Each structure stands twice: as structure tokens, then as C-alpha cells.
């Protein structure tokens, strides 16, 4: 059943109207494929939602404006999400030690401190102070679904009638 005054994304898709036409969207890796995937994800998520604007033009303007406001933040999150994370390590200790090497004999009459070389040694230790399952559970709680959070930014563009 369609509404009398507004249209859903589904209706625009069925009418073959591109809700993104004329708008220059960007994504974190700069490839058109990623932008297409984000647009498809957007359409899938909001498929049955009715737009919360009087016209498609107003909706597109608000969509593009919101996209530009939030995309830099989410680009950083998506990039950070691609980095390798060591989940089963709960602490890391770095210890730098500076050693002075002396090749000259030391005289009891001379209080000067001559070093012929300096050597820096860095020791790194990692470990865990919790069981594996606790570390994994903690990591899962901290990592949020970035895509769902991104889509949530656009909820206010739609009618909140379900």
C-alpha cells in the first residue's frame, strides 16, 4: 500500500528513478566501486522507508548535505577498521635502555665521564592478564558495526512511521 503524499525508496526504485543522480558522492578509498556498494547498502537498508521531504529534489539535497557532513568521520573509521588488531593481547610494555660503553681506562683522579659509544636497546613485551574469551568479548563490545552506525546518520531523512 502506497501513501498518498510521500513515496518510499522502493517506489523510486520500481520507477527506475536514481535517487543519487546528479550528486557527487565520495568514499574512503576513492574508488567508484566502494561508492556503488555504499549506495546499494543505503537502498537495501531504507528500501521500505518513506522519504521525509515534500519532493525528491529536497530529499536529494538533504541526503547529499548529510553525506558530506559525516563521510570524513566514517572514512576514518573504515580505514581504521582495515588495520590488523591483536585481540588476544591485553598489554604491551616497551622498555628502552641506554648503555654507555667506555674503552678508556678510568682514573681515580679524573671525574669526567667519557663514553666512546652509546647503545640503546628496546625490549617489547606483550601479554595478557585475562582469559582469551574475556579479551575477545571485550573486543567485540568495543568494535561497533560501522555500516549500521553510518546508515543511522540518515534516519532523520525518512518518515518515522512503521
115-161 pLDDT tens trace: 666 677 777 777 666 777 777 777 676 666 888 899 999 999 998 87
The whole-angstrom separation of Cα 39 and Cα 4 is 26
Q: What is the mean pLDDT of the chain?
A: 79
Query: From the CB of residue 19, how many other CB atoms can be counted at a distance below 10 Å?
Result: 17
Least confident of 2-11, 85-94, 110-119: 110-119
Q: Is the pLDDT of residue 111 over 60?
A: no
111 is written with which cell numbers?
671525574
Better-predicted residue by pLDDT, 161 or 31:
31
Amino acid at each position: 500500500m502506497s501513501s498518498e503524499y510521500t513515496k518510499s525508496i522502493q517506489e523510486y526504485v520500481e520507477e527506475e528513478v536514481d535517487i543519487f543522480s546528479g550528486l557527487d558522492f565520495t568514499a574512503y578509498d576513492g574508488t567508484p566501486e566502494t561508492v556503488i556498494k555504499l549506495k546499494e547498502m543505503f537502498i537495501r537498508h531504507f528500501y521500505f522507508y518513506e522519504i521525509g521531504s515534500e519532493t525528491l529534489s529536497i530529499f536529494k539535497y538533504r541526503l547529499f548535505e548529510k553525506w558530506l557532513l559525516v563521510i570524513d568521520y566514517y572514512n576514518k573509521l573504515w580505514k581504521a577498521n582495515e588495520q590488523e588488531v591483536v585481540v588476544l593481547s591485553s598489554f604491551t610494555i616497551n622498555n628502552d635502555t641506554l648503555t654507555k660503553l667506555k674503552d678508556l681506562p678510568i682514573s681515580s683522579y679524573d671525574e669526567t665521564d667519557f663514553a666512546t659509544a652509546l647503545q640503546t636497546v628496546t625490549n617489547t613485551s606483550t601479554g595478557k592478564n585475562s582469559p582469551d574469551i574475556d579479551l575477545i568479548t571485550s573486543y567485540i563490545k568495543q568494535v561497533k558495526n560501522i555500516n549500521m552506525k553510518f546508515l543511522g546518520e540518515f534516519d532523520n531523512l525518512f518518515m518515522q512511521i512503521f
